[in-house]
Amino acid sequence: MDSTIGWKSTGISGFKLFLLLSLMPLGQFAASGHISERPLLAAGTAKGTDEQSGILWRDPGDLRAHNLFYGIGGKQGAPPAQGYTFVKEDRGGSSPKFVVKDPKGVRWKVKLGPEARGEIAATRLVWAAGYFTDEDYYLPRLHVKNMPRLRRGKEFVSPEGVVENARMEREIEGEKKVGSWKWKSTHTSNRRAFNGLKVMMALVNNWDLKDNNTAIYKREYPGGAGEYIYAVSDLGASFGRTHLDRAETKASLQYYETSRFITKVGSEHVRFATPGSPTAFLLVNPADYFYRRGLMSVTREIPRADARWLGQLLSRLSRQQIRDAFRAGGFSPEETDGFARVMEQRIEVLRQL
């Protein structure tokens, strides 16, 4: 399998692109937003609370014992069905979000729109592979007291304060986001686990690999112990096309099952289709366009052995567990079977590399 992704795929001539480049200051190509300079380091167990150490991956052990319907938070961490009160609107990111408080005082970040369901399914599979995720759950219907008119996402909220198809992210007590890490970092003591996470993003078609969609969480425990957790904090672009498109394609079985997975297999390395080149419409914002083209290198030269390692790891999941991951996101039985079938095929491709 081989594929060349070049300027022609944008529908714009090389001369026009050169002209655009020549008219723009180089500084415009820098990604906006603060990204922590703390290096991405250890996988395993961090020592104390040293800011120069962190945990990216832990051996998941017996994968057949993992409950992929409830995920990393387990059944005991699932949100109650009712009793929520509005706290504030969150205007970060591209999806509408707001914070609520449940009857026990636990805060939850509610995400609405097309990202909600796919993100939940993605967290289940990423967690099963040994990586850290947020504690996300799906509620088909949510009534919120004192719900104001939102600035974003008001079309998802009824006049009575009822929302449907909500992703609920638990706010974990004793955990604080202290920075972000870089996908192109070379400072990691477990390169295989880091490459495995990149392959995981290609596996679920999560094309939005901006560094500010990662997180370093400082987690403190009773008695003063603590650790730094490295995670992908936003998986909302998963299970659609391989790239940013003008149309909404997230959590779409049609786009996921027809997308490419691997574009090239060499003797030592594998090149994945996700993240792919954004469509040409993004050239209205050249800085973002070329920044996203640069993200293609994240999964461009992955060692075959590392990709195979992830496939062998995930092949230990049962058919039912994989389907549970999509059921957790509120997908229909037909969608669940379709997504799971593609996932199983891709895992087998990795296993045989």
Over residues 107-131, mean pLDDT: 95
Residue whose token pair is 């944008």: 10
Q: Is the pLDDT of residue 38 over 50?
A: no
Distance CA(66)–CA(313), nearest Å, equals 13
CA proximity to 134, closest of 206, 205, 77 = 77
Token pair for 225: 């112990």
Q: What is the mean pLDDT of the chain?
A: 86
pLDDT at 200: 98
Q: What is the pLDDT of residues 284-330, one digit of tens each?
A: 999 999 999 999 999 999 999 999 999 999 999 999 999 999 999 99
pLDDT at 247: 79
Distance CA(311)–CA(17), nearest Å, equals 38
pLDDT at 26: 33
pLDDT at 222: 82
pLDDT at 208: 96
Lowest mean pLDDT among 41-45, 71-75, 259-263, 272-276: 41-45
pLDDT band per the 50, 70, 90 thresholds, residue 147: very high
pLDDT at 188: 77
Over residues 46-61, mean pLDDT: 68
**Position with higher pLDDT, 213 vs 34:** 213
pLDDT band per the 50, 70, 90 thresholds, residue 6: very low
- Dihedral in degrees, nearest 10, Cα atoms 14, 27, 197, 310: 30
pLDDT at 215: 95
Start-to-end CA span in the chain (Å): 12
Q: Is the pLDDT of residue 30 over 60?
A: no
Q: Is the pLDDT of residue 342 over 90?
A: yes
Q: What is the pLDDT of residues 251-292, one digit of tens each?
A: 999 999 999 999 999 999 999 999 999 998 889 999 999 999
pLDDT at 31: 34
Q: Is the pLDDT of residue 23 over 90?
A: no
Query: 191 CB contacts (<8 Å, ≥6 apart)?
Result: 306
Distance CA(18)–CA(15), nearest Å, equals 5
pLDDT at 146: 95
Distance CA(222)–CA(62), nearest Å, equals 28
pTM (predicted TM-score): 0.85
Q: What is the pLDDT of residues 168-213, one digit of tens each?
A: 999 998 899 999 999 998 777 789 999 999 999 999 999 999 999 9
